[in-house]
A and B are shown apart, each in its own frame.
Chain A
Amino acid sequence: MITVPRSLRRLTLGLTLAALLLSRATAAPLKVAYSDWPGWTAFAIASEKGWFKQAGLEVELLWFEYGPSIEAFTAGKVDAVMVTNGDALVTGANGAKNVMILVTDYSNGNDMIVAQPGISSLKDLKGKKVAVEVGFVDHLLLLNGLKKAGMTEADVELVPTPTNQTPQVLASGQVAAIAAWQPNSGQALKAVAGSTAVYTSADEPGLIYDTVAVSPQSLAQNRADWVKFVAVWDKIVAYLNDETTRDDGIKIMAARAGVDAKEYAAFMSGTKLLTLAQSTKIISGQTDTFGSIAGSSKIADEFNVKNGVYKESQPVATYIDATLTTDALKK
């Protein structure tokens, strides 16, 4: 009769224990990169109120500048990043595949083309210089506006500028207009007295959806956790939509951004926050228009390819997973 040597039994026991410990270790917190946009800064409320913990989640919210947040995601150092649907495609085309699992809001005026005093429409920009962060979301806004005005990108001269520097560039008088989102667009309006927003995201609701984009690997491994994460969003929106708690919510967001609450409250009207039900409709919709994320992203994809932001058209459907919001709704 062969008996298993004690040392071997011990070894197996040890290995089993180690495996158990390892599986614990893989349940690391979800690392989420976010930056200064009202629809994303709002997640600070959940963290401050302890809602993630209540949902049985460990979430590490990491505060970035927008550009570096995408870099961190591309480098695989975070599980999710908050980006616009257009930028999700750009990030994916540049090698960091991602899946949008939640639409937090759509830009409802916070993204703007701000023009010097005396310029009252996009048509007046013909042959003039426009400062924009090329390849980013407000480049898309500009192209969309030009198209509506019967022009193309060739009708204006683009001046590549980081978004956070656009107010200074407009104030310097060296360009006729800039394309930027809040707070930069609002600061540009303040910096140049008499300047106006000649075109904004409110003119094309749904052109810019703001989303939570997750790496396919993390989504596959922690799907249940991401469903919980999505469910917390509904709580945040409810908190901000409720008149009695709204101010407290904005206070937390302003504190996260490091500014006065009154100053931050001004950006809320340009951001249409979506409840989970509304978000589900938009993320699962299959329209060809801006009414669904599929439609909006398809249009963004065409813009991007046509304007050389990236070369090959992206398989838009693979960037969208509507099942998480539907699952979260059922709970």
Chain B
Amino acid sequence: MSNSPWFAIQHPLTSRRRFLLGLFSFTLPLILWCAVSYTPFIWHPMIRVESPGGVSWFRPGLLVERAVFATENAKALAANQPAATGTRANPVFLPEPHKVAQAFYTAFTTEPKLRGDVWLHESLWRSIQTIAWGFLISSAIGIPLGILCGAYALWSRISEPVIDFIRYMPAPAFGALAVAVLGINDAPKIAIIFVGTFFQQVLVVANTIRRTDPSLLEAAQTLGCRGFRLVLHVIVPSKLAELYTDTRILLGWAWTYLIVAEVVGVSSGITFFINQQAKYRNFENVYAAIIMIGLLGLATDQILAFIGKRLFPWETQRPSRLRAFIVRLFSSRQTPLTASPKSPAISPASTEARS
């Protein structure tokens, strides 16, 4: 195994290598960030003033560009004043990794100072709820409508042209309108996430449904299945795994609307934290909060991926112990995987019985 090549076209890697590379993809940016932060000669375009010397407007801790520092020092020296001293530093928008890690920790451990205020984890939970509601409502309408559009030309022509038109309208543009209609609390925020997700969702789902294998349809029709039962028992089950993947991708989109959604109406959730900290240039807190959102997104996606593997084991190409386990799990229950066990829709016996 060890002498199999690293570079082989369309050839799966060993699971050990996959793990190592996955780890590397996370550590590489971190290594770069550390390098830029901790080694002065790579970048460090600023100087952090330590003692102001003879420069009147320098203050200890002030960040100035190196060129400005040099000219001001030259001026001071020319006027027989002591030179200022300082150390090279990065601009304020690039804090060091350990500062961000500290901020990450303190953000969670700082208790709310005002009555009725919330801890950061409570803000995050509020954000998650906002996303969840927006996405649930969108999916509850969007997925069925998308399936109808993908299956029937009539539904497609009735709804898709206008949806195609509306989806170009940026969701944030509806902010003031959402407040006017829905008030200032959570409803307009959920609405923004809905607007950001729904229209794309219908089109994506419809597109997936439209790509149903025609031979599958023909077979089902030959066997006597028709009407809406074709949609329910043939088209949807055959595309279920892809619909699941679509939903995962769309959930990621819903997250991208969070920050615009949460400034609508009363400040809330993680956005309040980010905005306020950015306003006061506490960028280590800003980075920490952005990373929190990233971790949350990654975690949800991984959980969904795990569930997906259990639900659709035949979709997993890569051999793995997990898959073997799941296949065994399913086969031991003798559950057919593509069709619902209660109504074997494409068996001729059942169609005869009902006709």
Contact = CB atoms under 8 A, between A and B. Distances in A.
Interface string A17-48: 00000000000000001001000000010011
Q: Main SS of chain A's interface residues?
A: helix
A5 interface: no
Interface stretch (B159-167, B221-229, B263-271): B263-271
B275 interface: yes
Contacts of A77: 179-180, 183-184, 265
A33 B267 CA distance: 11
A236 B184 CA distance: 27
Nearest to A165: B278
A220 interface: no
A150 B300 CA distance: 60
Interface string A50-66: 00000000000011110
Contacts of A65: 263, 267, 275
A62 B184 contact: yes
A315 interface: no
Contact of B264 (A68, A183, A193): A68
A36 B113 contact: no
B56 to A, nearest CB: 11
A75 B92 CA distance: 38
A55 B272 CA distance: 30
Nearest to B112: A255
Interface string B103-139: 0000000001111010000000000000000000000
Nearest to B49: A193
A246 to B, nearest CB: 17
A281 interface: no
B207 interface: no
B64 A255 contact: no
B63 A193 contact: yes
Nearest to B280: A259
Range class of the A interface residue count: 35 or more
Given A164-B279, A193-B65, A259-B280, A64 B267 contact: yes
Given A63-B266, A191-B281, A257 B183 contact: no
B92 A191 contact: yes
A258 interface: yes
Contacts, number: 90
Given A187-B280, A191-B281, A258-B277, A48 B180 contact: no
A127 interface: no
B276 interface: yes
A262 to B, nearest CB: 11
A68 B179 contact: yes
A234 to B, nearest CB: 22
A256 interface: yes
B113 A255 contact: yes
Contacts of A191: 92, 281
A72 B185 CA distance: 10
B57 interface: yes
Interface string B251-277: 000000000000111110000110111
Interface in B171-185: 175-176, 179-180, 183-184
Interface in B49-69: 57, 62-65, 68
A295 interface: no
Contact of A117 (B68, B117, B282): B68
Contacts of A75: 176, 179-180, 184
Contact of A72 (B62, B179, B276, B279): B179
Interface in A109-129: 117
B117 A255 contact: yes
B276 A255 contact: no
Nearest to A164: B279
A263 B183 CA distance: 33
Contacts of B68: 117, 193-194
Contact of B62 (A48, A184, A193): A193
Interface string A227-263: 0000000000000000000000001100111110001
A6 to B, nearest CB: 43
A136 B179 CA distance: 21
A29 B65 CA distance: 52
Report which residue of B57, B65, B265, B275 has the largest number of chain A beta carbons within 10 angstroms of its beta carbon: B265
Nearest to B117: A255
A167 B277 contact: no
Given A252-B114, A258-B273, A193 B64 contact: yes
A193 B276 CA distance: 22
A147 interface: no
Given A64-B266, A193-B65, A183 B279 contact: yes
A258 B282 CA distance: 11
B170 to A, nearest CB: 16
Contacts of A263: 280
Interface of A: 33, 36, 44, 47-48, 62-65, 68, 71-72, 74-78, 117, 164, 167, 183-184, 187, 190-191, 193-194, 251-252, 255-259, 263
19 contacts: A33-B184, A47-B115, A48-B114, A68-B175, A68-B265, A68-B267, A74-B176, A74-B180, A75-B180, A77-B180, A77-B183, A187-B280, A190-B92, A194-B68, A252-B114, A255-B113, A256-B114, A258-B280, A259-B276
